[in-house]
Amino acid sequence: MFLSKEERFERHQQEVVKSGALSTQVAVGAGLAVAAGASQAALDFTGVTGAIDATTIVAAITAVAAIKILPGVAKWGFNKVIGWFRG
């Protein structure tokens, strides 16, 4: 059976709609299954938040500040030392 271009296009569109509807149903079903399992389990972040304290945060901020400042300080120091030899 030979189909015209319009009939082939129409059939293709129908197949796309059918496959899209099926994938949507599968995604919704999977989402509901995950949500049902997650609602029964309590989220507990004490392991993560307990490992981080104020000293760790301050050390991290200081390290980032040092990384930002040190290239400028090194350039200044280099120019200072070179200036001693140039007179």
Whether the predicted pLDDT of 51 surpasses 70: yes
Same domain, 51 and 32: no
Q: Which residue, among 57, 53, 77, has the nearest Cα to 65 in the 3D structure?
A: 57
Choice between 65 and 22, residue whose per-residue pLDDT is larger:
65
What is the distance of C-alpha 13 from the center of its chain?
35
Choice between 44 and 31, residue whose per-residue pLDDT is larger:
44
Per-residue model confidence (pLDDT) at position 26: 62
| Parent domain of 21 | 1-43
Same domain, 39 and 74: no
3 and 11 in contact (C-beta within 8 Å)? yes
| SS percent in the chain: helix, strand, coil, step 5 | 85, 0, 15
Same domain, 61 and 27: no
Token pair in block for residue 65: 């500040």
Same domain, 54 and 21: no
Choice between 29 and 44, residue whose per-residue pLDDT is larger:
44
Same domain, 58 and 70: yes
Token pair in block for residue 78: 């280099």
Per-residue model confidence (pLDDT) at position 77: 96
Q: How many domains does the chain have?
A: 2
Q: What whole-number percentage of the chain has pLDDT above 90?
A: 32
